[in-house]
Amino acid sequence: MSQDKRVQGSFVANDQDGDGNFETFAIDIDDDGLVEAVGVDADDDGVLDGVAIDRNRDGIVDLLAVDSDRDGFADTVVADLDGDGLIDAVGVDGDNDGIVDAVALDVDADGVIDLVAYDLDSDGDMDIAGVDIDGDGQMDDILIDTDGLA
């Protein structure tokens, strides 16, 4: 089994089986020896199945995008927006149309989801939103948008 490895500055891509498709890549944006992004093509079809990004280089993944159905669009995106190690946002494309159908946000970074929103008709506008005002993990207000204008 041959292995092709290419290095361009701070970009490394590996072709483990020699078929011309890179199964993994790593990027060191500032060339300090710490990898900021990693990508994986698990099924070797030339399309990335997942990407992990550590934007502040603390060893904790800040953004994870996964293409579970391998259609070229991320189905699930998980983000730690403030770098505290707690998940602040999750987005899911449940019907695989490339439009996020559900979002959950931890607005105040306390580890409890404060806002959830759903796009039920796949038009790109959120139709239902729930807000946890008192931080108890239960949605206190539910907002429903039936006309697409809110």
- Provide the pLDDT confidence category of residue 148 given band limits of 50, 70 and 90: low
- Provide the pLDDT confidence category of residue 145 given band limits of 50, 70 and 90: confident
Q: Of 60, 96, 64, 95, nearest to 77 (Cα)? A: 64
Q: Give dist(CA 137, CA 122) in Å, integer.
A: 26
Output the average pLDDT for the chain: 76
Q: What pLDDT does 3 receive?
A: 52
| Distance in angstroms between the alpha carbons of the first and the last residue of the chain | 57
Q: What percentage of residues in the chain have a pLDDT greater than 90?
A: 0
Q: What pLDDT does 113 receive?
A: 80
Q: Kindly tell me the burial class for residue 112, based on how many C-beta atoms sit within 10 Å of its own C-beta (0-12, 13-18, 19 or more).
A: middle
Question: Is the pLDDT score of 4 beyond 60?
Answer: no
72: CB partners within 8 A, 6+ apart: 47
**Residues recorded for the chain:** 150
- Min mean pLDDT across 4-8, 111-115, 124-128 is at 4-8
Q: What pLDDT does 146 receive?
A: 62
Q: What pLDDT does 1 receive?
A: 42
- For residue range 40-92, what is the model confidence (pLDDT) as tens digits? 887 777 777 788 888 777 777 777 888 777 777 777 788 887 777 777 778 88
